[in-house]
A and B are shown apart, each in its own frame.
Chain A
């Protein structure tokens, strides 16, 4: 049964929506529709789009692999300093992305804390590689996934897990057959948010991975570069492609996949 909201809610909501949609309208209005085809046919653009999709998908997978256990620990674990740990996990959300990129350099760069050993022992360098772009994207996207999944884990009824355990299921089976399916909506929403964030990432990518065509120059970097090169029309065209792709995926997220209340 739908509860009726106070009447004032609707116009304010409308204002909020207008605030978000107006810049988009501005973008569409300034788009070079006549030359759109030319802009999109440019191999540099297709390289950038392909790279963006590869990097954002890889970052989402990495975020899932690293983030779900982390979310579980934050939701269910009992250890001192849990709030501090949660704060640390959410830090990349508030860090300016370029600062995040610099921090990644200091940690994983050729002369970084850990990076120097990666270089010396394995000959592995992350900066200037596609893997580096994935690392940067994962760094900024991971907190979104953790926050969403932690929320889902906290709000699910843990008694189902207890019931499964009393029926003889081992811990791994409980996780696989009970917990994860029950938080599937949070997983989907968290993955979508992480993917969207990774797709739009700019500052950390360019600072940590650099900008080389076909290797690390993702769509946002390409857009910015086109604008730098006084090719504003092409930049707007590309931005619209990014918007269209993101909108398509996010709009496909069904309502019911968002975490249920309570």
Chain B
């Protein structure tokens, strides 16, 4: 049967060639999921300015920390949690971390705020369908901190693994409210509305960025771009605050 066999061989060759993936030129940046939109734009701006291609991989902070620890071939890593970054520093996988942004919490609600949520205290209502991040992940730990500080017992119906999961539930109208980062509400655009949490009730988290050991020399340049260059302006535009 020559023809099907030839087709199979050609197909396999095509796949092998497309997977070649030369990682030599260009940077690989691992970043927390909440940085998806902001860093996407930062990457484009950086490539425009320097001609260096940037490839991003977004995920939960602990997942990307895992990848760095297992030698993924990343050049830069940006997490949403300082403890996660610290673990990488302690293990010698990254250089000195630099803070580049700060984020606050906000309550996300379906457009129109059907349940009329006004504050963190409202989220204690058990008849409200509430989505939060699980306490084991950074956004969940922060939310728990904010609730505890206000003496509110949240009646959560689901504890998601990451912010995108919470946003999904709110955007589809399954949940009446969700606690996410302010930047997530900005990024979601018209899909969700935001109910602001007053600064004195809110918690702040600082995002650190570090160069991975053995990275491409351009990595330091990228970090500089984000911390002090045009990248910082882009990051602010997406709702992040100064570190």
- Name the residue on A nearest B138 (C-beta): A228
Interface string of B155-186 (1 = CB under 8 A from A): 01111111001001100111000000000000
- Bound-state CA distance A181–B131 (Å) is 47
Q: Is the CB of B136 within 8 A of A110?
A: no
Structural contact, B168 and A128, CB atoms closer than 8 A: no
Interface check B202, CB cutoff 8 A: no
Please tell me if A61 contacts chain B, counting CB pairs below 8 Å.
Answer: no
The reply on A227 being an interface residue by CB < 8 A is yes
Question: Within residues 213 to 258 of chain A, which ones have a CB less than 8 A from any CB in chain B?
Answer: 213, 216-217, 221, 224-232
What's the tally of chain B residues with a CB closer than 8 Å to chain A? 27
Instruction: For A212, give the chain B residue with the smallest CB separation.
Output: B158
Q: Does B84 contact A (CB under 8 A)?
A: yes
> Is A206 in contact with B129, judged by CB distance below 8 angstroms?
no
Taking a contact as CB atoms under 8 Å apart, the answer to whether A128 and B174 are in contact is yes
A72 part of interface (Cβ distance < 8 Å): no
A112 to B, closest residue via Cβ: B172
Cβ-closest chain A residue relative to B81? A230
Q: For chain B, what secondary structure do more than half of its interface residues adopt (helix, strand, loop), or is it mixed? A: mixed
A115 nearest CB neighbor, chain B only = B174
A109-B173, A110-B173, A127-B174 known; A229+B136 contact, CB < 8 A? yes
* Cβ proximity bits B95-138 to A, threshold 8 Å, 1 near / 0 not: 00000000000000000000000000000000001010011110
How far, in whole Å, are A221 and B134 apart by their CA atoms in the complex? 11
> Which among B60-68, B192-200, B216-224 touches the partner chain?
B60-68
Q: What bracket does the count of chain A residues touching chain B fall in?
A: 20 to 34
CB of A86 closer than 8 Å to a CB of B: no
Residues of chain A in range 103-141 having any CB-CB distance to chain B below 8 Å: 105-106, 109-111, 127-128
With A128-B157, A211-B158, A212-B158 known to touch, is A226 a contact of B136 (CB < 8 Å)? yes
20 CB < 8 A contacts A-B: A102-B172, A106-B172, A111-B173, A127-B169, A207-B168, A210-B157, A210-B174, A211-B165, A212-B158, A212-B159, A213-B159, A221-B161, A224-B161, A225-B159, A228-B161, A228-B162, A229-B62, A230-B62, A230-B87, A230-B136
Interface residues of B (CB under 8 A from A): 60, 62-63, 65-66, 83-84, 87, 129, 131, 134-137, 156-162, 165, 168-169, 172-174
Given contacts A102-B172, A206-B165, A211-B134, could you give 8 more A-B pairs where the C-beta distance is less than 8 Å?
A: A105-B172, A127-B174, A211-B158, A211-B160, A225-B137, A228-B161, A230-B65, A231-B136
Binding site for B on A (CB under 8 A): 102, 105-106, 109-111, 127-128, 206-207, 210-213, 216-217, 221, 224-232
